[in-house]
Amino acid sequence: GENVEQHPSTLSVQEGDSAVIKCTYSDSASNYFPWYKQELGKGPQLIIDIRSNVGEKKDQRIAVTLNKTAKHFSLHITETQPEDSAVYFCAVDDMRFGAGTRLTVKP
């Protein structure tokens, strides 16, 4: 089955800095790569996604890049704010999740 690895497991940044989270996957046939944000005690929320025919997608402070050849994709958050603090999960084809990254943005 699909193997999804996510790094780092924890990330602490200063407010205003950028944060980057990376995921790698094993199945070259995978086509859909969403990122979810989960706050404590809540369900995950889709924040951005990308499909295999696109290399980069941006939505305000959030961007996702995809390298299909290398089978990895990354979440980029710029100008981080304390409310960005949460656990972020990558997923592949909607059903296989990475282990999660706990992002802490220090004011």
Q: Which residues are at the interface with other proteins (CB under 8 A)?
A: 32, 34, 36, 41-46, 49, 89, 91, 94-100
Q: Please, what is the minimum distance in Å from the beta carbon of residue 12 to other proteins?
A: 16
Q: Please, what is the minimum distance in Å from the beta carbon of residue 16 to other proteins?
A: 27
Given its phi and psi angles, is residue 43 left (phi above 0), alpha (psi -120 to 50 degrees) or beta? beta
Q: Please, what is the minimum distance in Å from the beta carbon of residue 35 to other proteins?
A: 11
Sign of CA dihedral 55, 25, 29, 34: negative
Q: Which two tokens stand for residue 92?
A: 């592949």
Query: In the complex with other proteins, which residue's Cβ is closer, 88 or 107?
Result: 88
